[in-house]
Structure 1
Amino acid sequence: MKTMILKKFIPGLTVTGSDASQEASGTAAVLFKKIWNQLQPVLLAFVGIGMFLLFWEGISVFLKREMPGPASTLSVLFSMLVNPFYDYGPNDKGIGLQLWYSMIRVAMGFGLATIFAIPIGMLLGASKLFYKMFDPIVQILKPVSPLAWFPIGLVAFQNSASATTFIIFVTSLWPTLINTAVGVASIPDDFKNVSKAFGFSRTKYVMKIMIPYALPHIITGLRLSIGVAWLVIVAGEMLSGGTGIGFFVWDSWNALSLEKVISAIIIIGVVGLILDRLFLSLGKLVTYK
Protein backbone atom coordinates (compact mmCIF):
# COMPACT_ATOMS: atom_id res chain seq x y z
CA MET A 1 0.00 0.00 0.00
CA LYS A 2 2.82 2.39 0.90
CA THR A 3 4.54 1.66 -2.41
CA MET A 4 1.35 2.36 -4.34
CA ILE A 5 1.03 5.73 -2.60
CA LEU A 6 4.69 6.59 -3.29
CA LYS A 7 4.30 5.51 -6.93
CA LYS A 8 1.42 7.95 -7.31
CA PHE A 9 3.60 10.90 -6.29
CA ILE A 10 6.97 9.66 -7.65
CA PRO A 11 6.52 8.84 -11.39
CA GLY A 12 9.92 7.16 -11.80
CA LEU A 13 9.50 4.75 -8.92
CA THR A 14 9.55 1.05 -9.89
CA VAL A 15 7.75 -1.65 -7.97
CA THR A 16 9.47 -5.00 -7.40
CA GLY A 17 9.18 -8.13 -5.31
CA SER A 18 6.35 -8.58 -2.86
CA ASP A 19 5.05 -5.05 -3.47
CA ALA A 20 4.51 -5.86 -7.16
CA SER A 21 2.67 -9.08 -6.34
CA GLN A 22 0.48 -7.25 -3.81
CA GLU A 23 -0.41 -4.60 -6.37
CA ALA A 24 -1.24 -7.26 -8.97
CA SER A 25 -3.41 -9.20 -6.54
CA GLY A 26 -5.18 -6.00 -5.52
CA THR A 27 -5.93 -5.16 -9.17
CA ALA A 28 -7.17 -8.71 -9.80
CA ALA A 29 -9.43 -8.49 -6.74
CA VAL A 30 -10.94 -5.21 -7.94
CA LEU A 31 -11.50 -6.68 -11.42
CA PHE A 32 -13.08 -9.82 -9.99
CA LYS A 33 -15.40 -7.72 -7.81
CA LYS A 34 -16.56 -5.68 -10.81
CA ILE A 35 -17.24 -8.83 -12.83
CA TRP A 36 -19.09 -10.42 -9.90
CA ASN A 37 -21.26 -7.33 -9.42
CA GLN A 38 -22.26 -7.55 -13.08
CA LEU A 39 -22.94 -11.30 -13.07
CA GLN A 40 -24.56 -11.60 -9.65
CA PRO A 41 -28.07 -10.40 -10.65
CA VAL A 42 -28.10 -12.75 -13.67
CA LEU A 43 -26.90 -15.75 -11.66
CA LEU A 44 -29.39 -15.08 -8.86
CA ALA A 45 -32.19 -14.76 -11.43
CA PHE A 46 -31.26 -18.15 -12.92
CA VAL A 47 -31.21 -19.69 -9.43
CA GLY A 48 -34.65 -18.24 -8.70
CA ILE A 49 -36.07 -19.51 -12.00
CA GLY A 50 -34.57 -22.94 -11.36
CA MET A 51 -36.17 -23.11 -7.91
CA PHE A 52 -39.51 -22.03 -9.37
CA LEU A 53 -39.33 -24.76 -12.06
CA LEU A 54 -38.58 -27.37 -9.40
CA PHE A 55 -41.54 -26.15 -7.34
CA TRP A 56 -43.74 -26.25 -10.45
CA GLU A 57 -42.62 -29.81 -11.23
CA GLY A 58 -43.35 -30.83 -7.63
CA ILE A 59 -46.89 -29.42 -7.83
CA SER A 60 -47.43 -31.24 -11.13
CA VAL A 61 -46.31 -34.54 -9.61
CA PHE A 62 -48.44 -33.97 -6.51
CA LEU A 63 -51.52 -33.40 -8.72
CA LYS A 64 -50.69 -36.59 -10.66
CA ARG A 65 -49.91 -34.64 -13.84
CA GLU A 66 -53.40 -33.20 -14.07
CA MET A 67 -51.58 -29.88 -14.22
CA PRO A 68 -48.83 -30.01 -16.87
CA GLY A 69 -45.23 -29.72 -15.74
CA PRO A 70 -42.51 -27.40 -17.05
CA ALA A 71 -41.22 -29.77 -19.74
CA SER A 72 -44.54 -30.32 -21.53
CA THR A 73 -45.58 -26.67 -21.14
CA LEU A 74 -42.31 -25.24 -22.46
CA SER A 75 -42.50 -27.65 -25.40
CA VAL A 76 -45.97 -26.30 -26.30
CA LEU A 77 -44.76 -22.73 -25.75
CA PHE A 78 -41.89 -23.30 -28.16
CA SER A 79 -44.23 -24.69 -30.82
CA MET A 80 -46.48 -21.63 -30.36
CA LEU A 81 -43.56 -19.25 -30.83
CA VAL A 82 -42.20 -21.03 -33.92
CA ASN A 83 -45.22 -19.94 -36.00
CA PRO A 84 -46.94 -17.15 -34.05
CA PHE A 85 -48.76 -15.33 -36.87
CA TYR A 86 -50.83 -18.01 -38.61
CA ASP A 87 -54.52 -17.37 -39.27
CA TYR A 88 -56.69 -20.42 -39.99
CA GLY A 89 -60.03 -18.89 -39.13
CA PRO A 90 -61.89 -16.99 -36.39
CA ASN A 91 -61.01 -19.40 -33.57
CA ASP A 92 -57.60 -20.53 -34.79
CA LYS A 93 -55.04 -17.73 -34.80
CA GLY A 94 -51.40 -17.68 -33.74
CA ILE A 95 -50.32 -16.30 -30.39
CA GLY A 96 -48.50 -13.44 -32.13
CA LEU A 97 -51.72 -12.23 -33.78
CA GLN A 98 -53.67 -12.56 -30.54
CA LEU A 99 -51.01 -10.60 -28.71
CA TRP A 100 -51.07 -7.92 -31.41
CA TYR A 101 -54.86 -7.44 -31.06
CA SER A 102 -54.45 -7.06 -27.30
CA MET A 103 -51.60 -4.58 -27.65
CA ILE A 104 -53.68 -2.43 -30.01
CA ARG A 105 -56.57 -2.30 -27.53
CA VAL A 106 -54.23 -1.52 -24.64
CA ALA A 107 -52.52 1.23 -26.66
CA MET A 108 -55.86 2.83 -27.53
CA GLY A 109 -57.33 2.67 -24.03
CA PHE A 110 -54.10 3.69 -22.31
CA GLY A 111 -53.46 6.49 -24.82
CA LEU A 112 -56.94 7.97 -24.36
CA ALA A 113 -56.58 7.70 -20.58
CA THR A 114 -53.25 9.54 -20.72
CA ILE A 115 -54.73 12.35 -22.84
CA PHE A 116 -57.47 12.93 -20.26
CA ALA A 117 -55.61 12.10 -17.05
CA ILE A 118 -52.62 14.44 -17.34
CA PRO A 119 -54.52 17.73 -17.94
CA ILE A 120 -57.19 16.88 -15.37
CA GLY A 121 -54.53 15.84 -12.85
CA MET A 122 -52.64 19.09 -13.41
CA LEU A 123 -55.85 21.06 -12.88
CA LEU A 124 -56.67 19.22 -9.64
CA GLY A 125 -53.11 19.63 -8.37
CA ALA A 126 -52.94 23.33 -9.20
CA SER A 127 -56.37 24.33 -7.85
CA LYS A 128 -57.50 23.50 -4.33
CA LEU A 129 -61.05 24.46 -5.33
CA PHE A 130 -61.20 21.92 -8.15
CA TYR A 131 -59.48 19.31 -5.96
CA LYS A 132 -62.14 19.63 -3.24
CA MET A 133 -64.88 19.46 -5.88
CA PHE A 134 -63.73 16.42 -7.84
CA ASP A 135 -61.54 14.36 -5.48
CA PRO A 136 -64.59 12.62 -3.93
CA ILE A 137 -65.70 11.53 -7.41
CA VAL A 138 -62.24 10.16 -8.17
CA GLN A 139 -62.11 8.26 -4.88
CA ILE A 140 -65.55 6.73 -5.52
CA LEU A 141 -64.86 5.61 -9.10
CA LYS A 142 -61.25 4.49 -8.62
CA PRO A 143 -61.92 1.21 -6.74
CA VAL A 144 -64.72 0.03 -9.05
CA SER A 145 -63.90 -3.34 -10.64
CA PRO A 146 -63.02 -3.25 -14.36
CA LEU A 147 -65.66 -5.89 -15.11
CA ALA A 148 -68.36 -3.64 -13.62
CA TRP A 149 -67.68 -1.13 -16.40
CA PHE A 150 -68.11 -3.70 -19.18
CA PRO A 151 -71.93 -3.49 -19.43
CA ILE A 152 -71.67 0.31 -19.55
CA GLY A 153 -69.24 -0.03 -22.46
CA LEU A 154 -71.56 -2.40 -24.29
CA VAL A 155 -74.48 0.00 -23.92
CA ALA A 156 -72.39 2.98 -25.02
CA PHE A 157 -70.59 1.42 -28.00
CA GLN A 158 -72.72 -1.60 -28.98
CA ASN A 159 -69.50 -3.50 -29.64
CA SER A 160 -67.60 -5.88 -27.36
CA ALA A 161 -64.14 -4.91 -28.66
CA SER A 162 -64.87 -1.22 -28.08
CA ALA A 163 -66.27 -2.06 -24.65
CA THR A 164 -62.95 -3.74 -23.80
CA THR A 165 -61.06 -0.62 -24.87
CA PHE A 166 -63.48 1.44 -22.76
CA ILE A 167 -62.79 -0.51 -19.55
CA ILE A 168 -59.04 -0.18 -20.16
CA PHE A 169 -59.53 3.59 -20.55
CA VAL A 170 -61.55 3.93 -17.34
CA THR A 171 -59.37 1.76 -15.11
CA SER A 172 -56.00 3.08 -16.34
CA LEU A 173 -57.16 6.69 -15.93
CA TRP A 174 -56.82 6.97 -12.16
CA PRO A 175 -53.13 6.18 -11.41
CA THR A 176 -51.89 8.79 -13.88
CA LEU A 177 -54.47 11.36 -12.80
CA ILE A 178 -53.72 10.97 -9.10
CA ASN A 179 -49.93 10.94 -9.49
CA THR A 180 -50.05 14.00 -11.74
CA ALA A 181 -52.17 15.86 -9.18
CA VAL A 182 -49.76 14.91 -6.38
CA GLY A 183 -46.75 16.05 -8.43
CA VAL A 184 -48.27 19.43 -9.27
CA ALA A 185 -49.53 20.00 -5.72
CA SER A 186 -46.05 19.33 -4.29
CA ILE A 187 -44.31 22.12 -6.26
CA PRO A 188 -42.37 24.15 -3.62
CA ASP A 189 -43.47 27.72 -2.95
CA ASP A 190 -39.94 28.91 -3.84
CA PHE A 191 -40.48 27.78 -7.43
CA LYS A 192 -43.76 29.64 -7.60
CA ASN A 193 -42.21 32.78 -6.13
CA VAL A 194 -39.36 32.69 -8.66
CA SER A 195 -41.85 32.45 -11.52
CA LYS A 196 -43.69 35.48 -10.15
CA ALA A 197 -40.44 37.41 -9.69
CA PHE A 198 -39.50 36.82 -13.33
CA GLY A 199 -43.00 37.64 -14.52
CA PHE A 200 -43.75 34.22 -16.06
CA SER A 201 -46.98 34.00 -17.98
CA ARG A 202 -49.32 31.14 -17.11
CA THR A 203 -48.20 29.19 -20.18
CA LYS A 204 -44.54 29.70 -19.40
CA TYR A 205 -45.09 28.67 -15.78
CA VAL A 206 -46.74 25.44 -16.93
CA MET A 207 -44.01 24.66 -19.48
CA LYS A 208 -40.96 25.72 -17.43
CA ILE A 209 -41.93 24.79 -13.87
CA MET A 210 -45.12 22.74 -13.51
CA ILE A 211 -44.49 20.05 -16.13
CA PRO A 212 -40.73 19.56 -15.47
CA TYR A 213 -41.25 19.31 -11.71
CA ALA A 214 -44.26 16.97 -11.96
CA LEU A 215 -42.82 14.84 -14.77
CA PRO A 216 -41.32 12.10 -12.52
CA HIS A 217 -44.69 11.75 -10.79
CA ILE A 218 -46.45 11.63 -14.17
CA ILE A 219 -44.16 8.86 -15.44
CA THR A 220 -44.75 6.89 -12.23
CA GLY A 221 -48.49 7.25 -12.81
CA LEU A 222 -48.11 6.10 -16.41
CA ARG A 223 -46.11 3.09 -15.24
CA LEU A 224 -48.89 2.12 -12.84
CA SER A 225 -51.54 2.76 -15.49
CA ILE A 226 -49.91 0.56 -18.13
CA GLY A 227 -49.72 -2.22 -15.54
CA VAL A 228 -53.44 -1.85 -14.81
CA ALA A 229 -54.25 -1.72 -18.53
CA TRP A 230 -52.33 -4.92 -19.25
CA LEU A 231 -53.99 -6.58 -16.27
CA VAL A 232 -57.49 -5.59 -17.38
CA ILE A 233 -57.12 -6.62 -21.03
CA VAL A 234 -57.14 -10.33 -20.19
CA ALA A 235 -60.38 -10.16 -18.20
CA GLY A 236 -61.99 -7.89 -20.80
CA GLU A 237 -61.17 -10.18 -23.71
CA MET A 238 -62.44 -13.20 -21.80
CA LEU A 239 -65.82 -11.46 -21.65
CA SER A 240 -65.81 -9.97 -25.15
CA GLY A 241 -64.42 -13.01 -27.01
CA GLY A 242 -63.30 -12.96 -30.63
CA THR A 243 -59.61 -12.08 -30.52
CA GLY A 244 -56.86 -11.19 -28.09
CA ILE A 245 -54.65 -12.89 -25.55
CA GLY A 246 -57.50 -13.08 -23.00
CA PHE A 247 -59.74 -14.84 -25.53
CA PHE A 248 -56.83 -17.18 -26.33
CA VAL A 249 -56.60 -18.18 -22.66
CA TRP A 250 -60.34 -18.84 -22.42
CA ASP A 251 -60.47 -20.68 -25.74
CA SER A 252 -57.51 -22.86 -24.72
CA TRP A 253 -59.26 -23.70 -21.45
CA ASN A 254 -62.41 -24.71 -23.36
CA ALA A 255 -60.22 -26.93 -25.54
CA LEU A 256 -58.77 -28.48 -22.33
CA SER A 257 -55.24 -27.42 -23.27
CA LEU A 258 -53.71 -26.33 -19.97
CA GLU A 259 -50.28 -26.23 -21.63
CA LYS A 260 -51.50 -23.40 -23.87
CA VAL A 261 -53.16 -21.64 -20.93
CA ILE A 262 -49.94 -21.65 -18.89
CA SER A 263 -47.90 -20.69 -21.98
CA ALA A 264 -50.17 -17.69 -22.50
CA ILE A 265 -49.76 -16.75 -18.84
CA ILE A 266 -45.97 -16.80 -19.28
CA ILE A 267 -46.23 -14.59 -22.38
CA ILE A 268 -48.57 -12.16 -20.59
CA GLY A 269 -46.11 -11.91 -17.71
CA VAL A 270 -43.10 -11.33 -19.97
CA VAL A 271 -44.87 -8.59 -21.94
CA GLY A 272 -46.00 -6.95 -18.70
CA LEU A 273 -42.43 -7.04 -17.41
CA ILE A 274 -41.12 -5.41 -20.60
CA LEU A 275 -43.71 -2.62 -20.43
CA ASP A 276 -42.94 -2.00 -16.76
CA ARG A 277 -39.18 -1.81 -17.39
CA LEU A 278 -39.68 0.61 -20.30
CA PHE A 279 -41.55 3.07 -18.09
CA LEU A 280 -39.11 2.49 -15.23
CA SER A 281 -36.21 3.44 -17.54
CA LEU A 282 -38.14 6.47 -18.76
CA GLY A 283 -38.76 7.51 -15.17
CA LYS A 284 -35.05 7.36 -14.38
CA LEU A 285 -34.31 9.64 -17.33
CA VAL A 286 -36.58 12.41 -16.05
CA THR A 287 -35.86 12.09 -12.32
CA TYR A 288 -33.70 14.82 -10.85
CA LYS A 289 -30.96 13.63 -8.51
Structure 2
Amino acid sequence: MVSAVFHSPLDAVADERAAARTATPAAKEAPAVPAPKVSVPKATTARAPFDWRGLALKVLPPIIGLALLIGIWALLTIKSTSFPTPAMTFDAAVKLFADPFYRKGPNDQGIGWNILSSLQRVGIGFGLAALVGIPMGFMLGRFEFLNRMVSPLVSLLRPVSPLAWLPIGLLVFKSANPAAIWTIFICSIWPMIINTAVGVQRVPSDYLNVAKVLNLSEWKVITRILFPAVLPYMLTGVRLSVGTAWLVIVAAEMLTGGVGIGFWVWDEWNNLNVQHIIIAIFVIGIVGLALEQLLMAVAKRFSFDG
Protein backbone atom coordinates (compact mmCIF):
# COMPACT_ATOMS: atom_id res chain seq x y z
CA MET A 1 0.00 0.00 0.00
CA VAL A 2 1.49 3.23 -1.17
CA SER A 3 1.00 6.17 1.11
CA ALA A 4 0.48 9.58 -0.67
CA VAL A 5 2.45 12.55 0.66
CA PHE A 6 0.27 15.67 1.01
CA HIS A 7 1.88 19.20 0.83
CA SER A 8 -0.16 22.09 2.08
CA PRO A 9 0.07 25.64 0.59
CA LEU A 10 2.00 26.76 3.67
CA ASP A 11 4.65 24.13 2.96
CA ALA A 12 5.03 25.46 -0.62
CA VAL A 13 5.60 28.99 0.62
CA ALA A 14 8.13 27.74 3.14
CA ASP A 15 9.99 25.87 0.40
CA GLU A 16 10.19 29.05 -1.77
CA ARG A 17 11.54 31.11 1.16
CA ALA A 18 14.15 28.45 1.86
CA ALA A 19 15.25 28.48 -1.77
CA ALA A 20 15.45 32.26 -1.70
CA ARG A 21 17.62 32.17 1.45
CA THR A 22 20.01 29.75 -0.17
CA ALA A 23 20.24 31.74 -3.42
CA THR A 24 20.43 35.31 -2.04
CA PRO A 25 23.74 35.08 -0.12
CA ALA A 26 25.44 33.76 -3.24
CA ALA A 27 24.22 36.77 -5.16
CA LYS A 28 25.28 39.13 -2.37
CA GLU A 29 28.71 37.61 -2.06
CA ALA A 30 29.47 38.22 -5.79
CA PRO A 31 32.12 40.92 -5.94
CA ALA A 32 31.08 44.17 -7.56
CA VAL A 33 32.90 44.85 -10.80
CA PRO A 34 34.38 48.37 -10.66
CA ALA A 35 33.57 50.70 -13.58
CA PRO A 36 36.51 51.21 -15.86
CA LYS A 37 38.23 54.54 -15.40
CA VAL A 38 38.27 56.69 -18.49
CA SER A 39 41.19 59.08 -18.59
CA VAL A 40 40.13 62.43 -20.03
CA PRO A 41 43.05 64.26 -21.64
CA LYS A 42 43.65 67.77 -20.37
CA ALA A 43 42.73 70.58 -22.69
CA THR A 44 45.73 72.03 -24.39
CA THR A 45 45.86 75.46 -25.97
CA ALA A 46 47.55 75.26 -29.33
CA ARG A 47 49.61 78.30 -30.25
CA ALA A 48 48.61 80.02 -33.44
CA PRO A 49 51.43 80.24 -35.96
CA PHE A 50 53.17 83.60 -36.12
CA ASP A 51 51.87 85.77 -38.95
CA TRP A 52 55.11 86.45 -40.79
CA ARG A 53 53.25 87.61 -43.88
CA GLY A 54 51.32 90.27 -41.97
CA LEU A 55 54.52 91.49 -40.33
CA ALA A 56 56.25 91.68 -43.69
CA LEU A 57 53.38 93.69 -45.18
CA LYS A 58 53.69 96.20 -42.33
CA VAL A 59 57.47 96.50 -42.23
CA LEU A 60 58.72 96.00 -45.76
CA PRO A 61 56.78 98.75 -47.65
CA PRO A 62 58.08 101.63 -45.45
CA ILE A 63 61.62 100.25 -45.64
CA ILE A 64 61.41 99.92 -49.42
CA GLY A 65 60.01 103.44 -49.75
CA LEU A 66 62.77 104.91 -47.59
CA ALA A 67 65.42 102.97 -49.48
CA LEU A 68 63.98 104.21 -52.78
CA LEU A 69 64.12 107.81 -51.54
CA ILE A 70 67.75 107.46 -50.42
CA GLY A 71 68.64 105.72 -53.68
CA ILE A 72 67.19 108.54 -55.81
CA TRP A 73 68.91 111.08 -53.57
CA ALA A 74 72.24 109.28 -54.00
CA LEU A 75 71.87 109.10 -57.79
CA LEU A 76 71.06 112.80 -58.08
CA THR A 77 74.02 113.89 -55.93
CA ILE A 78 76.76 111.65 -57.35
CA LYS A 79 78.46 114.50 -59.19
CA SER A 80 77.06 117.37 -57.14
CA THR A 81 79.45 119.66 -55.26
CA SER A 82 76.87 121.88 -53.55
CA PHE A 83 74.26 119.38 -52.39
CA PRO A 84 75.39 116.76 -49.84
CA THR A 85 75.09 113.03 -50.48
CA PRO A 86 73.26 110.63 -48.13
CA ALA A 87 76.60 109.39 -46.76
CA MET A 88 77.78 112.90 -45.96
CA THR A 89 74.46 113.75 -44.31
CA PHE A 90 74.57 110.57 -42.23
CA ASP A 91 78.08 111.37 -40.97
CA ALA A 92 76.95 114.87 -40.03
CA ALA A 93 73.91 113.44 -38.20
CA VAL A 94 76.13 111.09 -36.17
CA LYS A 95 78.29 114.02 -35.05
CA LEU A 96 75.26 116.22 -34.42
CA PHE A 97 73.40 113.73 -32.21
CA ALA A 98 76.54 112.72 -30.35
CA ASP A 99 75.91 115.75 -28.10
CA PRO A 100 72.42 117.16 -28.80
CA PHE A 101 72.13 119.08 -25.52
CA TYR A 102 75.25 121.22 -25.39
CA ARG A 103 75.13 124.92 -24.47
CA LYS A 104 77.71 127.41 -25.71
CA GLY A 105 75.66 130.55 -25.46
CA PRO A 106 72.09 131.83 -25.75
CA ASN A 107 72.01 131.31 -29.52
CA ASP A 108 74.40 128.36 -29.76
CA GLN A 109 72.67 125.30 -28.35
CA GLY A 110 72.28 121.68 -29.38
CA ILE A 111 69.47 120.45 -31.59
CA GLY A 112 67.83 118.76 -28.60
CA TRP A 113 67.28 122.09 -26.80
CA ASN A 114 65.90 123.62 -30.00
CA ILE A 115 63.38 120.81 -30.42
CA LEU A 116 62.28 121.09 -26.78
CA SER A 117 61.87 124.86 -27.09
CA SER A 118 59.68 124.44 -30.17
CA LEU A 119 57.60 121.75 -28.48
CA GLN A 120 57.14 124.02 -25.47
CA ARG A 121 55.76 126.84 -27.64
CA VAL A 122 53.51 124.39 -29.48
CA GLY A 123 52.26 122.95 -26.20
CA ILE A 124 51.38 126.35 -24.73
CA GLY A 125 49.72 127.72 -27.86
CA PHE A 126 47.91 124.47 -28.57
CA GLY A 127 46.72 124.15 -24.97
CA LEU A 128 45.29 127.68 -24.98
CA ALA A 129 43.56 126.96 -28.28
CA ALA A 130 42.00 123.81 -26.82
CA LEU A 131 40.77 125.67 -23.73
CA VAL A 132 39.03 128.24 -25.93
CA GLY A 133 38.16 126.30 -29.08
CA ILE A 134 36.51 123.19 -27.64
CA PRO A 135 34.00 125.02 -25.38
CA MET A 136 33.28 127.46 -28.20
CA GLY A 137 32.61 124.55 -30.54
CA PHE A 138 30.14 123.09 -28.04
CA MET A 139 28.31 126.40 -27.80
CA LEU A 140 28.19 126.94 -31.56
CA GLY A 141 26.83 123.45 -32.11
CA ARG A 142 24.34 123.68 -29.26
CA PHE A 143 22.83 127.14 -29.82
CA GLU A 144 21.70 127.95 -33.34
CA PHE A 145 21.54 131.72 -32.82
CA LEU A 146 25.15 131.82 -31.61
CA ASN A 147 26.18 129.60 -34.52
CA ARG A 148 24.61 131.96 -37.07
CA MET A 149 26.32 134.90 -35.41
CA VAL A 150 29.88 133.48 -35.15
CA SER A 151 30.08 131.19 -38.20
CA PRO A 152 30.65 134.05 -40.70
CA LEU A 153 33.56 135.30 -38.59
CA VAL A 154 35.09 131.81 -38.45
CA SER A 155 34.67 131.41 -42.21
CA LEU A 156 36.33 134.81 -42.76
CA LEU A 157 39.34 134.33 -40.48
CA ARG A 158 40.06 130.62 -40.98
CA PRO A 159 41.62 130.90 -44.49
CA VAL A 160 44.06 133.61 -43.37
CA SER A 161 47.66 132.41 -43.38
CA PRO A 162 48.94 131.85 -39.84
CA LEU A 163 52.07 133.90 -40.52
CA ALA A 164 49.86 136.92 -41.28
CA TRP A 165 48.99 136.95 -37.58
CA LEU A 166 52.64 137.09 -36.50
CA PRO A 167 53.07 140.88 -36.97
CA ILE A 168 49.91 141.42 -34.92
CA GLY A 169 51.46 139.35 -32.14
CA LEU A 170 54.73 141.28 -32.31
CA LEU A 171 52.82 144.55 -32.17
CA VAL A 172 50.68 143.53 -29.19
CA PHE A 173 53.16 141.51 -27.09
CA LYS A 174 56.38 143.37 -27.98
CA SER A 175 58.30 140.07 -27.78
CA ALA A 176 59.11 137.22 -30.13
CA ASN A 177 58.25 134.29 -27.84
CA PRO A 178 54.64 135.29 -26.98
CA ALA A 179 54.15 136.36 -30.61
CA ALA A 180 55.07 132.83 -31.75
CA ILE A 181 52.71 131.33 -29.14
CA TRP A 182 49.96 133.67 -30.35
CA THR A 183 50.51 132.46 -33.91
CA ILE A 184 50.21 128.83 -32.77
CA PHE A 185 47.05 129.68 -30.88
CA ILE A 186 45.31 131.40 -33.77
CA CYS A 187 46.13 128.67 -36.30
CA SER A 188 45.20 125.79 -33.94
CA ILE A 189 41.83 127.03 -32.79
CA TRP A 190 39.85 126.74 -36.04
CA PRO A 191 39.94 122.94 -36.56
CA MET A 192 38.87 122.36 -32.96
CA ILE A 193 35.98 124.83 -33.18
CA ILE A 194 34.67 123.49 -36.48
CA ASN A 195 35.00 119.76 -35.71
CA THR A 196 33.49 120.09 -32.24
CA ALA A 197 30.55 122.14 -33.55
CA VAL A 198 29.90 119.62 -36.34
CA GLY A 199 30.02 116.78 -33.81
CA VAL A 200 27.43 118.48 -31.60
CA GLN A 201 25.14 119.13 -34.57
CA ARG A 202 25.27 115.45 -35.58
CA VAL A 203 24.11 114.14 -32.23
CA PRO A 204 20.80 112.29 -32.82
CA SER A 205 17.78 114.38 -31.83
CA ASP A 206 16.34 111.41 -29.93
CA TYR A 207 19.09 111.79 -27.33
CA LEU A 208 18.19 115.42 -26.74
CA ASN A 209 14.47 114.62 -26.63
CA VAL A 210 15.12 112.07 -23.89
CA ALA A 211 17.08 114.72 -22.00
CA LYS A 212 14.09 117.07 -22.22
CA VAL A 213 11.74 114.36 -20.96
CA LEU A 214 14.06 113.66 -18.03
CA ASN A 215 14.39 117.41 -17.40
CA LEU A 216 18.19 117.26 -17.35
CA SER A 217 20.18 120.39 -16.74
CA GLU A 218 22.35 121.85 -19.51
CA TRP A 219 25.49 120.71 -17.69
CA LYS A 220 24.27 117.11 -17.57
CA VAL A 221 23.25 117.26 -21.23
CA ILE A 222 26.78 118.32 -22.14
CA THR A 223 28.63 115.86 -19.88
CA ARG A 224 26.33 112.82 -20.14
CA ILE A 225 25.02 113.04 -23.72
CA LEU A 226 26.98 115.43 -25.90
CA PHE A 227 30.54 114.79 -24.72
CA PRO A 228 30.62 110.99 -25.38
CA ALA A 229 29.01 111.48 -28.80
CA VAL A 230 31.22 114.43 -29.81
CA LEU A 231 34.51 112.96 -28.54
CA PRO A 232 35.58 111.35 -31.88
CA TYR A 233 34.97 114.60 -33.76
CA MET A 234 36.76 116.59 -31.08
CA LEU A 235 39.82 114.33 -31.16
CA THR A 236 39.94 114.65 -34.95
CA GLY A 237 40.03 118.42 -34.58
CA VAL A 238 42.76 118.13 -31.96
CA ARG A 239 44.87 115.94 -34.26
CA LEU A 240 44.50 118.39 -37.15
CA SER A 241 45.31 121.32 -34.90
CA VAL A 242 48.52 119.89 -33.49
CA GLY A 243 49.73 119.03 -36.99
CA THR A 244 49.09 122.58 -38.15
CA ALA A 245 50.74 123.99 -35.04
CA TRP A 246 53.92 122.00 -35.63
CA LEU A 247 54.02 123.19 -39.25
CA VAL A 248 53.58 126.84 -38.33
CA ILE A 249 56.09 126.97 -35.46
CA VAL A 250 59.01 126.31 -37.82
CA ALA A 251 58.12 129.25 -40.05
CA ALA A 252 57.32 131.50 -37.08
CA GLU A 253 60.65 130.77 -35.41
CA MET A 254 62.50 131.56 -38.64
CA LEU A 255 61.06 135.07 -38.49
CA THR A 256 61.23 135.68 -34.75
CA GLY A 257 64.61 134.13 -33.90
CA GLY A 258 65.64 132.80 -30.51
CA VAL A 259 65.92 129.13 -29.61
CA GLY A 260 63.85 126.69 -31.66
CA ILE A 261 64.06 124.25 -34.52
CA GLY A 262 62.92 126.90 -37.02
CA PHE A 263 65.55 129.39 -35.91
CA TRP A 264 68.14 126.59 -35.95
CA VAL A 265 67.33 125.82 -39.59
CA TRP A 266 67.63 129.48 -40.56
CA ASP A 267 70.88 129.83 -38.63
CA GLU A 268 72.33 126.80 -40.41
CA TRP A 269 71.32 128.32 -43.74
CA ASN A 270 73.21 131.48 -42.83
CA ASN A 271 76.21 129.24 -42.13
CA LEU A 272 75.66 127.45 -45.48
CA ASN A 273 75.45 124.13 -43.65
CA VAL A 274 73.04 122.29 -45.97
CA GLN A 275 73.67 118.95 -44.27
CA HIS A 276 72.18 120.20 -41.00
CA ILE A 277 69.19 121.63 -42.86
CA ILE A 278 68.42 118.23 -44.35
CA ILE A 279 68.83 116.63 -40.91
CA ALA A 280 66.40 119.21 -39.49
CA ILE A 281 63.86 118.36 -42.20
CA PHE A 282 63.93 114.68 -41.17
CA VAL A 283 63.78 115.61 -37.47
CA ILE A 284 60.77 117.88 -38.00
CA GLY A 285 59.00 115.13 -39.94
CA ILE A 286 59.74 112.48 -37.30
CA VAL A 287 58.52 114.69 -34.44
CA GLY A 288 55.35 115.59 -36.35
CA LEU A 289 54.71 111.92 -37.11
CA ALA A 290 55.22 111.01 -33.45
CA LEU A 291 52.73 113.67 -32.32
CA GLU A 292 50.14 112.46 -34.83
CA GLN A 293 50.57 108.81 -33.85
CA LEU A 294 50.27 109.73 -30.17
CA LEU A 295 46.99 111.54 -30.72
CA MET A 296 45.67 108.70 -32.90
CA ALA A 297 46.43 106.28 -30.07
CA VAL A 298 44.57 108.54 -27.64
CA ALA A 299 41.62 108.71 -30.06
CA LYS A 300 41.46 104.92 -30.29
CA ARG A 301 41.73 104.62 -26.51
CA PHE A 302 38.71 106.87 -25.95
CA SER A 303 36.69 105.66 -28.92
CA PHE A 304 33.19 104.37 -28.16
CA ASP A 305 32.97 102.19 -31.27
CA GLY A 306 33.92 99.10 -29.24
Q: TM-score range by the shorter chain?
A: 0.7 to 0.9
Find the residue that maps to 1:200 and give its secondary structure: coil
TM-superposed deviation, 1:40: 1.9
Give the aligned partner of residue 70 of structure 2: 53
CA distance in structure 2 between the partners assigned to 1:266 and 1:252 by the alignment: 15
Residue correspondences, number? 263
Structure 2: state its 5+ residue gaps.
1-38, 41-45
Q: What percentage of aligned pairs have identical amino acids? A: 42
The answer to whether the aligner puts 1:245 opposite 2:261 as a matched pair is yes
- Paired amino acid for 2:230: A
TM-superposed deviation, 1:255: 0.2
TM-superposed deviation, 1:137: 0.4
TM-superposed deviation, 1:230: 0.2
CA distance in structure 2 between the partners assigned to 1:173 and 1:73 by the alignment: 37
TM-superposed deviation, 1:127: 1.1
The answer to whether the aligner puts 1:89 opposite 2:89 as a matched pair is no
Give the aligned partner of residue 84 of structure 2: 68
Give the aligned partner of residue 167 of structure 1: 183
Find the residue that maps to 2:105 and give its secondary structure: coil
User: What are the Cα deviations for residues 142-169 of structure 1, in whole angstroms up to 9, with x where unaligned?
Assistant: 1111111111001110001110111000
Range with greater deviation from structure 2 (94-103 or 74-83): 74-83
Find the residue that maps to 2:184 and give its secondary structure: helix
1:27-42 maps to which residues of 2 (within 5 A)?
31=49, 34-42=51-59
- Paired amino acid for 1:51: L
1:1-150 maps to which residues of 2 (within 5 A)?
31=49, 34-61=51-78, 64-150=80-166
TM-score (norm 2): 0.82
Give the aligned partner of residue 230 of structure 1: 246
TM-superposed deviation, 1:55: 1.3
Alignment RMSD: 1.8
CA distance in structure 1 between the partners assigned to 2:56 and 2:208 by the alignment: 46
CA distance in structure 2 between the partners assigned to 1:58 and 1:176 by the alignment: 43
Structure in which a larger fraction of residues adopt helix:
1
- Paired amino acid for 1:155: L
Q: Detail structure 1 runs of 4+ shifted over 6 Å in the superposition.
A: none
TM-score (norm 1): 0.87
Q: Work out which of the two has the higher radius of gyration on C-alpha atoms and give 1 or 2.
A: 2
Give the aligned partner of residue 271 of structure 2: 255
